Structure 1
Amino acid sequence: MAFLTTKLTLAKEPKPIQTRTGTPMATAFGFAKLGNDSPDLPLAVTAFGNVAESLLQHDKGQVIQVSGDLKIHTYMNREQQEVEQLQITVDMLASAKQTKPARRGDSQRQGNQNHQQGYGQPQPMQSPPANQPNQYQNDMGFQQRPNKPAPQMGQPMGANQFADDDINF
């Protein structure tokens, strides 16, 4: 499996699929441009959750940018021939139609953050209690775990201490 980020021109209207669990799912088909000298790469697109809902808002011929896992999907066609097709399971989708990219898992994370932090309201910084010393005071942003020594660096090698290994590459 590989990870791919590419611009994709939709060749068909995205289709919604009803899953047993009720999770939104959508599929689409499109072509990614590889360059001027090479043919376009046909890609099947699969999306879940809020990314699927975002995909369904697009039409045939529109260009979207997708990122996700790329794999070879094998299936039997109507003539009972085995067909291999490149398929991308989309983690992130962006387009000119959207103001914010859709990402897989954003709806759950966003809901939790809004609930915990009071979305849009600045949060006061918390300081350590007055009776406890701040263990990270004067650390200049570098923190180390308690009871663990910080890694130590040795003295830098001088120019005359370098040994050439004479390996030809």
Structure 2
Amino acid sequence: MVARLLAFALSREAAFSDTTVGKRKIEGGQIRRSRVIRDFGDVNAPLEAAFRARLSQAITALRVPPFTLDSLSLELAAHGDGDFYRRHIDTFIGGEKTATDRILTGVYYFHALPRAFTGGELRLFSLRPIEHGGAHLDIEPPCDSLLLFPAWAPHEVLPVSCPEGNFAQSRFAINCWYNGTA
């Protein structure tokens, strides 16, 4: 799957667009800077099947209350030199609420070998603020690995360093949101 996804990403490089947060573009990338694509063509079906196959195990392991899966939302993010995503959660709040909620977040990492970038760790934060004893955990983005966590968990993508600036050397991740109702 890694070789297939890498070939797909590289063949579609021109189709990637600058990231947005919600439905608005962030000027200068103060919150998020990367490039994404949401059309997976013929790799969409096997990706969705792979993510769906992990749902039951994730619910048990994460102790998430069972929910009705309404849909999956997928995006392929490419983080190149200097790209990042500041601390955020993946659920909608306030006026942004939709008919279904993001319950779980899945991140599948893949990249060219040998790995040419540094950084890009996923930082998961505790719910307690750091100034009140809270902590964080930095998770490396190893190739061909899947990380699942509750969509309400605060997290960020630490800056990526890819000095040659070659798209093929980016930190690639497929972000999957399990959308559902309780």
- Normalised-by-shorter TM-score class: under 0.3
More helix, by proportion: 2
Higher relative contact order by CA 8 Å / sep ≥ 6: 1 or 2?
2
The TM-score, its normalising length taken from structure 2, stands at 0.23
The alignment's TM-score, normalised by the length of structure 1, stands at 0.25
